[in-house]
Amino acid sequence: MEKCDDLPDLVKPMLATLSPTGPPEGDGWLHELKHDGYRLLCRLDRNRDQVDFYTRRGFRWSEKFRDIGEEIRNLEAAQLWLDGEIVVMTEEGRSCFGSLQEAIARRDQGCLAYYVFDLLHLDGENLCWEPLEGRKKRLKGLVQGDAWNLHYVDYQKGFGPEFFEMACAYGIEGAVSKRAESPYRPGVRSRDWLKTICRDYHKTRRVAWKWWGQDPRRDRL
């Protein structure tokens, strides 16, 4: 395990490649639901008494998510970096990007939730080169309990096409398939992570943009 006394000030997110053929098959892949929200990395440093959230382009959005930051402070860790997605969930259990933008605009933190899917640094350990499945196991042990706005993103090992079909049938945006042995490569768009989008999802989303009068380019923060 690589030791790293200094917690990095900023980490760029690893990015998934769009799959042209659908989710891969085989037990070497872990499949997660793709939530429709804002990708955010979280940095906890108790030495500075700080919890900060950063967008994929490095914008600091900590003030927008103070309530979730308090849940991060409750984790049994002195220093860490998390990767995840801020979302608003409907009553049916689906993420809704339009509702997320409305909540942020209203400064309403009560309906926001942070779904974390990766653990990059923990108490002086750089975990980026540890296999994904190992990182997920450590993350699950860290993010547990009954926090209403902080959740661990679980996975399905193997059965990628079946998992994707289920996600689409339920109205989820899609699936992200990740090699179980893959490291975390900050700032790299890798084929170790493949995203597959449900066919009709973004058509529905464009209708929502027209209804709410919002700009889809804001999704790229």
Active-site residue among 34, 64, 136, 195? 34
C-alpha angle 218-152-171 in degrees, rounded to nearest 5: 55
Tell me if residue 34 is catalytic.
yes
Single-letter code of the amino acid located at 5? D
Q: DSSP labels for 167-210?
A: HHHTT--EEEEEETTPPP-TT-EEEEEEEEE-TTHHHHHHHHHH
Continuous H helices in the chain: 66-73, 97-106, 132-142, 160-169, 201-212
Active site residues: 34
